[in-house]
Chains A and B, each alone.
Chain A
């Protein structure tokens, strides 16, 4: 008999107080409670985290790599958005 499908979840962990939750992997679980428990066993065996988020993978909308140019290229030419674009004389000191 084929094994029935179990939903996929994405796991995000906050490693330290003050840091953001970061994606660390995925797992299968029938519901959110079990996904949290499995994430704790699978991804925090060595004190890797203080907080876990689990999100159904099906709830994530991702950008298409084919649209990479359209999405991200416009920002590349806008170097005036970075502080190093502007000249400040050395005498003025750190700014």
Chain B
């Protein structure tokens, strides 16, 4: 059940907490799922609220770069698919907010933190979508990388998060395939179309690799998350898996990875050249190409919708009052 009311933080002595904490870890080690009304360490709850709400914000902000192309999609088929995809992203954001709320955070607090610029979302959505080929690359690579990250989350120790991810992963598979289809069509088209596809790949490749987060030596959240089975693979492991899956797909398209140092090692893994982590830090710090635009667009949408929320709340209240009055008669 997804309620907030059951999640009042419990207070207890430290000795009692240590017993509960070891019992909790034993449940995790036994691959049991933790449900909202079970006892959990405060740090576990905090880590999950942070991660799930960031994930939800990413889905919501992620509608913007693609929404930008809905009115300019090259055919009705592409437009219908893109519209459905953007609707899915919205749905994914809402499943995830609901999962975060089971931990005692309120939807309104989470949304307000994002609008205030206090909460993070995925760095990738701070890059612009300059051509139609970007929509292909986003589906193929951005959603591809997201799926790579999300499949292990379907087995995350926290039940509501794992269940939300199962739903999300089922729906994401269409996103990646429609993106690859766009790329394939462009690559089989005119020389200009193929060049457009290559140019989009050049711009997105490195930011996509950054989606997996900092290299393992530098990641600040991994240790506890691994112990709690929130995270099941390291950033570098997932990044490598993604690259190994993607390189043959690019070869099939006849595109070149924009990494002169990329080569296949003896085990068959495709090894990438150095990633510019300074760019990643800058984008997270708010200095990416579109950070300000994205936040401004979210704030405008939220402000423009205020009268709808107000009207709906006023109407619900009026009806409730009327029902009370009728019941009293």
Contacts and interface: CB of A to CB of B under 8 A. Distances in A.
Interface of A: 2-6, 8, 10, 23, 25-31, 34, 41-42, 45-46, 57-58, 60, 62, 64-65
Contacts of A3: 108, 111-112, 302, 309
A65 B2 contact: no
A46 B88 CA distance: 10
B155 to A, nearest CB: 19
Interface of B: 1-6, 35, 37-38, 84, 87-88, 91, 94-95, 98, 101, 106-108, 111-112, 164, 171, 302, 309, 312-313, 315-316, 319-320
Contacts of A31: 312, 315-316, 319-320
Nearest to A66: B39
Nearest to B320: A31
A3 B306 CA distance: 9
Nearest to A62: B1
Given A45-B84, A62-B3, 16 more contacts: A4-B108, A5-B108, A6-B107, A8-B4, A25-B2, A25-B98, A31-B316, A41-B87, A41-B91, A57-B3, A57-B5, A58-B5, A60-B3, A62-B37, A65-B35, A65-B38
A24 to B, nearest CB: 8
Contact of B2 (A5, A8, A41): A8
A34 B112 CA distance: 22
A4 B6 contact: no
Contact of A30 (B3, B87, B106, B316): B316
A2 B106 CA distance: 12
Question: A-B pairs with the 10 shortest C-beta distances?
Answer: A26-B2, A31-B316, A30-B316, A3-B108, A30-B312, A57-B3, A26-B98, A30-B313, A65-B38, A42-B91
Contacts of B5: 57-58
A4 B4 CA distance: 16
Contacts of B4: 8, 57
Nearest to A34: B312
A62 B6 contact: yes
B2 A10 contact: yes
B312 A57 contact: no
Given A3-B111, A4-B108, A31-B316, A10 B1 contact: yes
A25 to B, nearest CB: 6
28 contacts: A2-B108, A2-B112, A3-B112, A5-B108, A6-B107, A6-B309, A8-B101, A10-B2, A10-B3, A25-B98, A27-B98, A30-B309, A30-B313, A31-B312, A31-B320, A34-B316, A41-B87, A42-B91, A45-B84, A45-B87, A45-B88, A45-B171, A46-B171, A57-B1, A57-B4, A57-B5, A64-B37, A65-B35
